[in-house]
Structure 1
Amino acid sequence: MDIFNLILFILLIFFTAFFVAAEFSVVKVRKTRIDQLAMNANKNAIIVQKILNNLDGYLSATQLGITIAALGLGWLGEPTFHGLIDPFVAWFGLPEAVTSTLSFLIVFLFVTFLNVVVGELAPKTIAIQKSEQIALLIAKPLYWFYIIAFPLIWLLNGSARLLVRVFGFKTNDSQEAALSEEELRLSMSESYKSGEINQSELQYVNRIFEFDDRLAREIMVPRTEIVCVYKDDTLEENLNVLKQEKFTRFPVADGDKDHIVGLINIKEVFHDVFNNHAKPLEEYIRPIILVIEHIPIKKLLIRMQKEQIHMAVLVDEYGGTAGLVTVEDILEEIVGEIRDEFDSDEQPMINKVSPTITVLDGKVLIEDVNNLFNLHLDDSEVDTIGGWMLSQISDIQLGSSIKVNGYEFKVTEIDGHQVKYIEVIRQNNKDEQVIKKTPADD
């Protein structure tokens, strides 16, 4: 065996591995991470930035390097291992033509095995798993190879571009396109699974995406639950309301809830009462925002911030009061439920009592119920699970239930015609597709 050829053969395997690792690492590496390292004056990262900004050209350089190394391996393979394989094959005493052919096949398979496994597959796997480290490591050598071989790369790359255009395709050097919302969600899920982010961070990001699609009516305090003070009542009567309820701001109604004229802050009222400077209710009234119930909450939040008003009244298409939204209601769509010392007795919107039983607040959105139980309840007419129950059972009563797709939805608390709480029980039968209605007192 020719030692010089063997050394040259090993070098060509190394060059193949280098260019394969370079190709996969620059394709796989995250540009945002490289930009971050470059901002911290990492010299190799700055070179990788240049590579990523001319990705098409540098991929052509890696392909050229792989091709040259492969041609060299093919040229050196037979003479390098011929002396080693021939005596072994000749030992079988076969005819010379058969011996020569068999020797060539063994050398060909051996060289191909080394090239594919050592030169390509192993470097590819390492480069994919350690793309950032490999990209930083190969940056300088790849950069200089590109500079040296630029005329040939320019010719080959230009020819490839021309061929691509002939078939009607566009050429694009950019590595990364903007990710869609769904792709970002998947990316964040993968980051959570790999431990890069925690569950709270993942939930915040998902809520941000959902926040953009929410309407004010989906998070409002419904009209029936609004606690008002009334302009025509005496200060003492309204003070009794303020003492009983544990809110900071109250809407002020002129006659009824369809005519809300402003809001009061109890801090101002109590401050004057405690200092014996109580004034008529009208002097405490501050402006309140009135908007249509279908306004997106992102627009409502911007308006609240701009006007520095923490409460908005939602009106329906007929001009009547539909509900009320506070800044806290909007923020809870991002950060989750916000509880203070007065909310200790407040039940969570979704309470998982056991593996088979979940208690839902009637105001939970149908969309959230569908996601929670993998159902397809219709939310085209109503928004909440309580509203959906009412739409399915006209004479709804305490204990009324509906069975759908392996789950039983049972009313456990009702206030007039408003469904307050629903118990969801997972049934054994998962194949049931038809909604079944069960009267309350059958």
Structure 2
Amino acid sequence: MDIVNLLWVAALILLTAFFVATEFAIVKVRSSRIDQLIEEGSSRAVSLKKIDDNLDAYINVCQIGITVTALGLGWLGKSSIERAFHHFFENIDSASLASFLSFIIAFFIVLFFRVVIGELVPKAIATNKAEPIALFVAKPLLLVRFILYPITFILNITAKLIVRLFGLKSIQENDAHSEEELRLILSESYKNGEINKAEMMYVNNIFEFDERVAREIMVPRTEMVCFFKEDSYETNINVIRDGQYTRYPVADGDKDHIIGLINIKELFTGHITSEKESIEPHIRPILHVSESTPIKQALLRMQKERIHMAIVVDEYGGTAGLITVEDILEEIVGEIRDEFDANETPMIEEQEDGSILVDGKVLLYEINEYFDFDLDENEVDTIAGWIINHTVEPSVGSTVGHEGYRFIVEEIDGYQVKKIRIIRPEESKVNTEDDAEE
């Protein structure tokens, strides 16, 4: 009889291991991975999807299984093992002492095997092999839940009511990841080689994309190349020779009055077919957006109205700059260069002497990320704006210091700061020592 009971004890420990491994596996496996396996034709994944869609209920099934097996072990294990060891203490005069020693040995043996075989080992295996174990146990777990449904139904309802009394959410309701959590997951996936650097960059750029506004990515008014309605056909054609763009905004009088845009393909096609030397028949509508318009909204409008350019309007109704579809897409995929961009230099470029040459249009958040700074982004958007805020009338050679770094104005066009050279603290120290020696 004791052998039969010991076999029952072993079976209960294995059942404990099954429920523990099942619980950890179904919690750890990703919903997106289950969907992928279903698309690949896995029948087990279909069963696992049913579990994932009602995760609370199946976790409760596992908990009931673990509790029942624990009670069974306490009932059968202690008495069976205690009787097996009792004859070792028959020579002890005190019967109560013999029973106590047998009980202690039985208790620790059952505890050891339950914790090690029933808890720790299956937990470690399920954590490392969550997907195959979840697929393996999916159908048996569905069957167990069907058998225990009346009990689990009552327990689930009771548990949910108590949880809601404390103002908490169930596991299923609290399953979504925040943006920061997704960034951490991406970072870990990159470190483990699951995704490459480009993929991580694209996804991170999409998170940033959602926060960018038109003012931050626009070509400023001072750099806009326009056609003017009142200019001759030849004058506007000469603009193309210098600009080498596909589309040009058309101004009526000045840049504060942009009335449309022209695609040079239409312009030249019209000239070839009709030999008309006028830009007016080829002027198409252009979008106007405010400086604070999110670029995702601007892109949606461009897609809907099939217009690839928008004028950015400031708070006074004047032209602040322009944005194109290319400018918006570059926020996700990085710089897009064509055959006419051969002479363009990177916005942030490391120099041979160790300094960094930065374009004045680089956004402050990019400078903060690149150098791990905390420059205030509330008042201005670009590094050029930050320089102007710290020097009333910047000129070539003007210097601003921050955390040991030196920001030196390298190039100016009128009142616009075009290039800034950033010198690291160690480079600044070397240059200072060289000047002292001279």
Cα separation, partners in 2 of 1:128 and 1:38, compared to 1, 3 Å: same
SS in 2 for 1:57: helix
Give structure 1 stretches of 5+ with no counterpart: 431-442
Q: 2:382 aligns with which of 377, 381, 384?
A: 384
Aligned to 1:116: 115
Aligned to 1:23: 23
Taking the aligned partners of 1:73 and 1:146, their CA distance within structure 2 comes to 22
Which deviates more from structure 2 when the two are superposed, residues 32-41 or residues 245-254? 32-41
SS in 1 for 2:377: coil
Cα separation, partners in 2 of 1:378 and 1:54, compared to 1, 3 Å: closer
Aligned to 2:223: 225
Aligned to 1:439: none
Q: CA deviation at 1:285?
A: 2.5
Cα separation, partners in 2 of 1:153 and 1:405, compared to 1, 3 Å: same
Q: Report sequence identity in percent.
A: 53
Q: 1:183 aligns with which of 178, 181, 184?
A: 181
2:260–2:285 Cα contact (<8 Å) kept: yes
State the superposition RMSD in angstroms: 3.0
Q: Structure 1: which amino acid aligns with 2:108?
A: L
Aligned to 2:433: none
SS in 2 for 1:259: strand
Q: Output one character per residue of 1:314-370: Cα deviation in whole Å (capped at 9) or x when no partner.
A: 222222221111111111112111001111110111223479532221101112211
1:54–1:173 Cα contact (<8 Å) kept: no
Cα separation, partners in 2 of 1:33 and 1:355, compared to 1, 3 Å: farther
1:406–1:429 Cα contact (<8 Å) kept: no
Aligned to 1:437: none
SS in 1 for 2:341: coil
Q: Structure 2: which amino acid aligns with 1:373?
A: F
Q: Structure 1: which amino acid aligns with 2:52?
A: L
SS in 2 for 1:312: strand
1:350–1:361 Cα contact (<8 Å) kept: yes
SS in 2 for 1:258: strand
Alignment of 1:310-389 (within 5 A): 310-353=308-351, 357-389=355-387
Tell whether 2:36 aligns with 1:32: no
Q: 1:396 aligns with which of 394, 397, 402?
A: 394
Aligned to 1:436: none
Q: Scaled by the length of structure 2, what TM-score is found?
A: 0.87
Give structure 2 stretches of 5+ with no counterpart: 429-438
Q: 1:293 aligns with which of 284, 291, 294?
A: 291
Cα separation, partners in 2 of 1:222 and 1:71, compared to 1, 3 Å: same
Cα separation, partners in 2 of 1:136 and 1:359, compared to 1, 3 Å: same
Q: Output one character per residue of 1:150-193: Cα deviation in whole Å (capped at 9) or x when no partner.
A: 3333344444445546x444674736533333333333333333
Q: Output one character per residue of 1:279-326: Cα deviation in whole Å (capped at 9) or x when no partner.
A: 223233222223322222222222222222222222222222211111
Cα separation, partners in 2 of 1:110 and 1:425, compared to 1, 3 Å: farther
Aligned to 1:65: 65
Aligned to 2:281: 283
SS in 2 for 1:139: helix
Aligned to 1:44: 44
Taking the aligned partners of 1:276 and 1:3, their CA distance within structure 2 comes to 104
Q: CA deviation at 1:104?
A: 3.0
Q: Output one character per residue of 1:180-214: Cα deviation in whole Å (capped at 9) or x when no partner.
A: 33333333333333333222222212222222221
**Greater helix content:** 2
Cα separation, partners in 2 of 1:152 and 1:360, compared to 1, 3 Å: same
1:218–1:383 Cα contact (<8 Å) kept: yes
Taking the aligned partners of 1:370 and 1:112, their CA distance within structure 2 comes to 55
Q: CA deviation at 1:86?
A: 5.7
Taking the aligned partners of 1:319 and 1:192, their CA distance within structure 2 comes to 46
Q: Scaled by the length of structure 1, what TM-score is found?
A: 0.87
Q: CA deviation at 1:275?
A: 6.8
2:213–2:292 Cα contact (<8 Å) kept: yes
Aligned to 2:6: 6
Q: CA deviation at 1:83?
A: 6.6
Q: CA deviation at 1:268?
A: 3.0
Q: CA deviation at 1:126?
A: 1.9
Q: Structure 1: which amino acid aligns with 2:7?
A: I
Taking the aligned partners of 1:228 and 1:171, their CA distance within structure 2 comes to 57
Alignment of 1:218-297 (within 5 A): 218-271=216-269, 277-297=275-295
1:229–1:250 Cα contact (<8 Å) kept: yes
Q: CA deviation at 1:50?
A: 2.6
Taking the aligned partners of 2:242 and 2:215, their CA distance within structure 1 comes to 27
Q: Structure 1: which amino acid aligns with 2:152?
A: I
Taking the aligned partners of 1:268 and 1:123, their CA distance within structure 2 comes to 70
